[in-house]
């Protein structure tokens, strides 16, 4: 078999479930910390496990460039390479080709581009992306698609969606099925309902193990994102995991869980941590602010993470202002714990049937 998904609880559109894979179970809804280069920045794999992280995301584009999927394959695959025994989902590289690569040339065969690192000419296609993810040993692979920028015209969105559908077929045909591993399709279509539905219907015919919604969190804003989810999610298969790519903000996660999404990823908790922003109950604080120099309280008095149990705002303020590595470690530990706690809270409210009794902002 491939991966399996069992729904456990429902509260209107929101749901809890378990994804079973060759590398363990994933309890949904779930947030996946981003480990782009085979590491979640500033965190040991053992620390992530201690927090309760069950799955992380790595990236095809970046690992293809450095150190190369062949090197990782020789060293036993991505799990052994980075000492992470739990599930790993790998993005196909489509988003990074759009956002990072230089001098892109898109054809029906794939994308020719210059590396953002050294300008070297590279080529990425649906078949190539599947080959790379196979060599990495990804628990969950993603099809290769074109991430449509925002804003865009209907004409371009339609053309791009058609291309992504073609690439989805090629991706499916080149994916190597293995017990406990899976591949997800990616729904495109920008903000246009008919294009989203067309994309879903084509992907459903290919029988993917899960379905991701791509092309959001690219500048359209919260209200537009929720609107797209409202007319997209009802067309997705009810018995498969649903993944909203690149989201993100706690308020967006809460709204998306209420819309029926199961999986999320974003660099926000780790990147924000390195920039001094801590997520706390009710909002955020910038720990670099002068007000925290003599503050002997934890980052969040309601948090049970390692950082909050052992260190003060004043000390972390000092670490961040002096660019000490420990500051990034402690901030990242806290932020990932915040996201983990948020997902646990949402799970409990779904099971109890009380999720919709709270406004979105009351839950972050």
Active site amino acids: 91, 265
A 10 A CB-CB count for 196 gives 25
Is residue 268 within 8 A of residue 251, CB to CB? The reply is no
Q: Which residues contact 329 (CB under 8 A, 6 or more apart)?
A: 42, 43
Handedness of CA 138, 140, 146, 150 (dihedral sign): negative
- Residue 209: its H or E element: none
Q: Which residues contact 295 (CB under 8 A, 6 or more apart)?
A: 312, 313, 314, 317
The CA-atom distances, in angstroms, between 140 and each of 86, 187, 241, 255 are 11, 16, 11, 25
Is residue 125 within 8 A of residue 144, CB to CB? The reply is yes
- Residue 88: its H or E element: strand 88-91
State the Cα–Cα distance between residues 228 and 231, nearest whole angstrom.
Answer: 5
Token reading at 49: 């496990």
Closest residue by Cα to residue 212 from 184, 190, 182: 184
Query: ∠45-257-86 over CA atoms, to 5°?
Result: 20
State the Cα–Cα distance between residues 60 and 142, nearest whole angstrom.
Answer: 9
């Amino acid at each position: 078999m491939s991966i399996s998904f069992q729904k456990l609880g429902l509260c209107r559109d929101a749901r809890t479930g378990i994804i079973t894979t060759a590398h363990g179970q994933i309890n949904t809804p779930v947030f996946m910390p981003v480990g782009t280069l085979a590491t979640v920045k500033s965190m040991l794999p053992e620390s992530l496990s201690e927090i309760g992280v069950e799955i992380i995301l790595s990236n095809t584009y970046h690992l293809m460039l450095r150190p190369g999927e062949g090197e990782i394959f020789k060293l036993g695959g991505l799990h052994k390479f980075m000492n992470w025994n739990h599930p790993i989902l790998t993005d196909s590289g489509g988003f990074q080709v759009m956002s990072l690569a230089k001098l892109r040339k898109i054809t029906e065969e794939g994308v020719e581009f210059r590396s953002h690192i050294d300008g070297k000419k590279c080529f990425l296609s649906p078949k190539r992306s599947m080959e790379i993810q196979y060599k990495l040993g990804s628990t969950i692979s993603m099809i290769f698609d074109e991430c449509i920028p925002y804003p865009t015209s209907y004409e371009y969105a339609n053309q791009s969606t058609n291309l992504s559908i073609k690439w989805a077929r090629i991706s499916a045909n080149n994916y190597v099925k293995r017990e406990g591993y899976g591949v997800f399709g990616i729904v495109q279509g920008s903000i246009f309902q008919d294009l989203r539905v067309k994309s879903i219907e084509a992907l459903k015919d290919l029988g993917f193990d899960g379905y991701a919604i791509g092309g959001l969190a690219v500048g359209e804003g919260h209200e537009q994102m929720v609107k797209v989810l409202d007319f997209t999610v009802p067309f997705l298969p009810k018995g498969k995991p649903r993944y909203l790519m690149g989201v993100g903000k706690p308020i967006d996660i809460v709204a998306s869980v209420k819309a029926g999404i199961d999986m999320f990823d974003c660099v926000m908790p780790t990147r924000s941590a390195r920039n001094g922003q801590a997520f706390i109950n009710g909002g955020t604080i910038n720990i670099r602010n002068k007000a925290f120099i003599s503050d002997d309280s934890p980052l969040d008095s309601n948090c049970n993470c390692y950082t909050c149990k052992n260190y003060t705002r004043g000390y972390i303020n000092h670490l961040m202002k002096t660019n000490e590595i420990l500051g990034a470690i402690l901030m990242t530990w806290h932020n990932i714990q915040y996201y983990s706690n948020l997902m646990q809270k949402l799970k409990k409210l779904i099971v109890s049937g009380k999720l919709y009794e709270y406004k979105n902002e009351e839950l972050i």
